[in-house]
Structures are given as structure tokens and as C-alpha cells.
Chains A and B, each alone.
Chain A
Amino acid sequence: MSSIPKSQQVMPTPRRQESVIIGNQSYLSVLLRLISVELYKIRRRLMSKILSIVAIAVMVVFFGIISIGSIFVLASPEATFLPPPCTANLPAGTLCLDHSPTQAELDQARQRALTAVSSPLRPPDSVGTALQVGSIIGLILLIILAGTIVGGEYSVGTVRLMFTRGPTRTQFFLSKVGAILICAVLGMLVLVLIGILAGVLLNLFTGIGIDFSFFSGAWFLHTVLKLLIVMLELFVYGMLALCLSTLGRATAAGVAGALVWWGLETILGGFLFLIGNYFTGAFGNVIKAIPDYFISNSIGALLQNQDHYITATSQASTISDLQALATLVVYLAVFIGIAWWVNQKRDVTN
């Protein structure tokens, strides 16, 4: 039997000192304040600065590598880009030059080659290039960031400090989720813009102007959707890192776990495809269908379907948008749900 009476009067709160300014106490205000605290901590970390520099450097270097092709074209003799002269040795149907090339033909040939090689530097191709590079480097860096901001609280011990300040554990948890989402969105946006800008600047060396005839409302919409899909990819893997670092109470658990998962999906996808081909019938089909429910394949399908809308030449994925989105929502629910539940129920000890 409890010796404390069931109904006790709550003691009135005495007035605090005038110098203590209490903020808005609504749930949302507290949450927004905690998100701003998380972003402040991220901004002040040396690691975040290094990760940002690495991401930008990788993007610029990648576009720089592409531009090397243009420099190579400009430096090569013009005749390199012409079809071979027609001789008896050439196989039938091979495109060949049956006369001595004129200077205009030489110039045209070089220009064609230069246009083809430097195409990824200019919109619309550069947008796709920036998205591809950004999705890989951004994903790796966001996983590191997500693992660190969650696992670091446990490994350093600051989780004790935070959990004894007043806001609920759910609010602290949601502030981490919110901060990771903001980093995924802002990080990807900035990275893609830097990529496009780097491409445009490097394209100046080629002397080829940007043709904006591709630009239309539909192109813009589908490109924005592609950007959102890549942000979603980063967020899903970020939540995986958050979940694993919460479970493992360590940065390493989240970072290594999420990166291994990401790598394994590719390996496992190929492996299951091979097994599926080996077994015929329903069993084989089920095995082959499993990778359709992987994160990377769902993201890939969403991107492929957008490409199909943008360029008629691209094929649509066999996975529908609805299936891919549903799969990703389930992953998010599982990762966030497990991490939240553990966060709520866990005893915070050493």
C-alpha cells in the first residue's frame, strides 16, 4: 500500500526571478525551439562544417572531371572527330568520309563532339547530374550527421541533461527528426544548386551557350519532384541511422548500420534476382519481387518514373509510384516508430 495519499494538492509555483524569461509553452513552440537548438548544435559542430565542405568539394570536383572531357576535345586535332575515310577494309554500313574534309566540316565535327561531351555541364542534363551526385554524397553525409546527433547524445551523456529539463522525450525526439529533415531538404537544395552553378561556370570554357528550349512548366514540376524524391531518400536513410543509433546508443551503430544497409540492398537485390531466375514458377517470382520493396529500388523507381515524364525516351519503372511511396512510408513508420518507442521506454543509465 502506498503511504502517499492518492489525491495531493499540486504546490503552487512561486514567482521566478525577473531575469528568467520563460518562452511560449505551447507544444509546437517548445518543439520549434528544440529544433532550433538542434540546428544550432549542428551548425556549431566542426564535423558539420567538414561534411559540408566535403559535399561541396565532391560536387565541384565531379563537374570538374566532366569538364576535363571538354578540354580534351578542344585540345585534340579536329580530324579526330571525323568519321574514318572510306576504304575497302571498312565493314559494310560503317559511316565513313568519302572526300577530303573541308575546314567547315572539321569545325562542325569538333563542335558536335564538344556539345556531346559537355552536355552534362549544362541544364537540363546538369540538373540530373547534380541530383545523382548529390543523392550519393548527400546520403552518406546525412547518415553520418543523423547518427552523430542522436548517438552522440548517448555516448557523451548529454541525453541526461536534455531529458531532465522539462520538455517531453517525444518533443526531444521530434526535434531530432525535424533537424534531420531540415538538413536533408536544405542540404540537397544547396548541393544541387552548387552543382548546377559549377556546371554553368565550367561550361563557359566550352563557349557553348545554354539552350533554354527544354524549359517548360511540366519539366520544372517533374524536376522539382525528382529533387523531392532525392530529399525523401536522404530522409529515409537518415531515419534508419536515427533508429539504429538510438537502439545502439552510439554514433557508430547508426552510421555503420545505415551504410551497410544501403550497400547490402544493392548486393542483396542482385543476389535475389539470380536466385529468382534459378527457381522457376511462383517461388522464383516472389524472390525476384522482394527487391521491389527495398528503399533504394523504390527511390529508383520514383526517379525513373519522373524521367519517363520528362523525356519520352526513358522507360517507366515496373514499380508504380504508389507502390514505391507506400513502401517508403512503411519504412519511415517502422524506423521512426521503433526509435520513438525505445526513446520513450528506455531507462537512461550510464
Chain B
Amino acid sequence: MDELSPQYDGTPIISTSRLTKAFGKLVAVNDLELQVMRGDVFGFLGPNGSGKTTTIRMLLGLIRPTAGRAVLFGMDNADQLPAILRRIGAIVETPVFYPYLSGLDNLRVVAASSDMASGKANDRRLAEVLDIVELRTYENLTYRKYSLGMKQRLGIAAALLSDPELVMLDEPTNGLDPAGVIEIRRLIKRLSALGKTIFLSSHVLYEVQQVCNRVAILKKGNLLKQGNVTELLAASQQVEVRMNRDDETNYALHLIQQIQEQGANWITGAHIEQNKQGQGVLILDAPVERSAEINALLARQSLFAAEIHPRAGSLEDLYLEVTAQGVQPGNAIGMEALASTVGTPAEMPGSGK
């Protein structure tokens, strides 16, 4: 995400302190310290069962924390929940509406239940949000006849209805076709440009990287990482070295490990991965600006790299790094297991891969 919202001013709009939720012996969220700033497009990541939805539910007052507190807009949600909710538009999991009402009538019900004036007073606003999610043509269709994607879009329309400052979207691209996914991405960017703070919970890392300026990664209820996307990715930069032959690659790895043992702490890790051509490449966890130094070290041992270049850090790599402890890159079993819970660029419709 290149541009920040015009409202971005570093003021926390959501702050949690030691927020904890336990269901019996199962601790779903543990001591969560979350900070979402005004104007953020905040990505909330984690595998299934990591506590994302539980956190959203606690923030929205649907469930009560076992311990800790959450402050939104400077108000504690234990004491001032109605005032907080009036400033939020949210989708929690799959949006659900009254199946016997049309999309438009459902929005009318939501509007009247959101302190908005009832009757025809808000018809213009209803038309606006239906236009935003491109459901105007289907506004009179009964909700039970909506496709999953249409339901998702109606959920977004409902979230935007009262023009809230904070929009919380829990897996908003679930069930959407490629065009729908792209449209949601555009919509999030548009809302951010309008000064809205977006809290986006998602599995689809590619999407999150496209739209979010800050992220938090959760696993088994624990916050593993939180911060600015650019900074987090910069910290996880890697250098990829390709040699001409596999024995050279193995020797280069051995050499780098020796250098590490001798105290070169700027290299934090090294391993061999298979590239798309099935050839082994050396991956070094090291600053990109020291690529020339790496090249020189290898050359001193008569190892001449065929190719050396920075490997662009992706949110996916970062995610795997912080969540998949013990899962080595290139390890087929580990990657498959992760792929079942985490969306990858390859899975992204319209990603061109």
C-alpha cells in the first residue's frame, strides 16, 4: 500500500491491553496488545483458529473478554459499547440477513436498527451503498436467492450504511469471483482515501499486502508480529544466489555457515531451495545492500555466482516465517499443510499465476 489515508495521524483508534478470551481451558486469545491507528488499513492475519474472529467479536462486544480491555475511539468498550458501535460498520464472518426480505429491505432494517431515521428518509443513502457494491440491479431480489458473492457484497453495503469511521471486515472476499475480489480491493483503497480506518481480517495474504499499511499476525491466540508492512518486509529481506552447479551451491552453503560461525552476524540464516527450474539456489537471510560483499566472499573461494539478486520480501514469506516454526521453506509437507490454511498469490484469482 503506497498511499496512506488522509486521516492517518498516528492516533490509536483501537487499543487493546492484555485482551484475553478463554473458552473453558482453551485460550482463544491470549494477552493481546493491538494498536490500530486512525486511517490505517490494518491487516489482521492468522490461520484458522488463531483467534481473529474471537478478537473481532470482543471488539464489537459480542463476547466478553476473560481479561484485559479494549478501547475504541478513546472509549472502553465495556462501558460505552453503544457509542462505539455507532461509529463502526462491521461484517463478522459470513454476513447473514433476513432470508425472506429483499436486499433493499434488509438494508432498510439495518438502517433503522443503526439509529438511522426509518421510512424513506435514507433511501438516497441506501441507493448509494447499493451502487458502491453494485447490487442496485438485484436490490429487490429476495436475500435467499442471492449468491454467496452477492451476500458478501450486501454485507459490505450494510457495513458502510451509516458512513462509519471504522470498517471491520472479516474475510470480505470469501465467495467472491476474481472480479469481485478486485472490486473489494479497490473499494478498500477508496474507503481509505476517504479517511476511513479499515480493519481487515483475512487469510489471503496477497490481498492484504496489496491494500494494508499495517498488519498483525496471530497464531493460537498469541500476537506474533505487529507493525508497518514495509518495515516488516524490509526486516525479512533475503538474497538469492544461483551457482552453475549443485555441488557449488552446496559448497557455498557450507562456506556461508562457516562465515556465520566466525561471527558474521549480519547473515542470520542460510538454506538451499529448489527454484522453478528444479535447480538448487542458495537463500541467505541478509541485508540486500550487502549482496556485493557476499559475492566477494564467495569469489575469494573461487565460487563464482551465476546470478545474485535480492529476493523481494512478501507477506507470505513473513507469515510463514513467524507462524510456521519448524516448517522449512521448500519442505513439501510443511508447505502443503500451510497452503490449506493460507491463501497464496498462486491461489489468488486474477493474480496472473
Contacts and interface: CB of A to CB of B under 8 A. Distances in A.
B71 interface: yes
B90 interface: yes
A164 B62 contact: yes
B116 A22 contact: yes
A3 B38 CA distance: 19
B175 to A, nearest CB: 16
Contacts of B16: 4
B163 A16 contact: yes
A11 B98 contact: no
B101 interface: yes
A163 B97 contact: no
A245 to B, nearest CB: 17
Contact of B118 (A14, A23, A163, A349): A23
B49 interface: no
Interface string A134-173: 0000000000000000000000111011111111100000
A348 B92 CA distance: 11
Interface in B41-72: 57, 60-64, 68-69, 71
Contacts of B332: none
B115 A37 contact: no
Contacts of B114: 165-166
Contacts of B124: 19
Contacts of A34: 112-113
A211 interface: no
Q: Which of A2, A45, A164 has the most CB of B within 10 A?
A: A164
Given A14-B165, A44-B100, A45-B100, A23 B116 contact: yes
A21 interface: yes
Interface of chain B: mostly helix, strand, loop or mixed: loop
Nearest to A40: B109
Contacts of B74: 8-11
Contacts of A19: 122, 124-125, 128
B1 interface: no
B96 interface: yes
A13 B87 contact: yes
Contact of A164 (B17, B90, B118, B122): B90
A252 B158 CA distance: 29
B162 A16 contact: yes
B115 A25 contact: yes
Nearest to A24: B117
Interface in A16-63: 16-17, 19-23, 25, 30, 33-34, 36-37, 40-41, 44-46
A98 interface: no
B98 to A, nearest CB: 6
A29 to B, nearest CB: 9
Interface string B74-98: 1100000110011110101101111
Nearest to B196: A14
A350 B53 CA distance: 11
Contacts of B95: 161
B115 A3 contact: no
Contact of B109 (A11, A41, A350): A41
A41 B110 CA distance: 11
Given A164-B85, A166-B86, A347 B64 contact: yes
A19 B110 CA distance: 16
Given A11-B73, A164-B85, A164-B88, A17 B97 contact: no
A9 B74 CA distance: 5
Nearest to B155: A161
Interface in A269-290: none
Given A36-B118, A167-B113, A160 B62 contact: yes
The 3 A-B residue pairs with the shortest CB-CB distance in the complex, in nearest-first order = A157-B96, A23-B117, A347-B63
23 contacts: A4-B16, A8-B75, A9-B74, A10-B74, A13-B87, A19-B124, A19-B125, A20-B125, A22-B115, A22-B117, A34-B112, A37-B113, A41-B98, A160-B92, A160-B93, A160-B96, A161-B110, A164-B90, A165-B114, A166-B82, A168-B81, A348-B57, A348-B63
Interface of A: 2-4, 8-11, 13-14, 16-17, 19-23, 25, 30, 33-34, 36-37, 40-41, 44-46, 156-158, 160-168, 345, 347-350
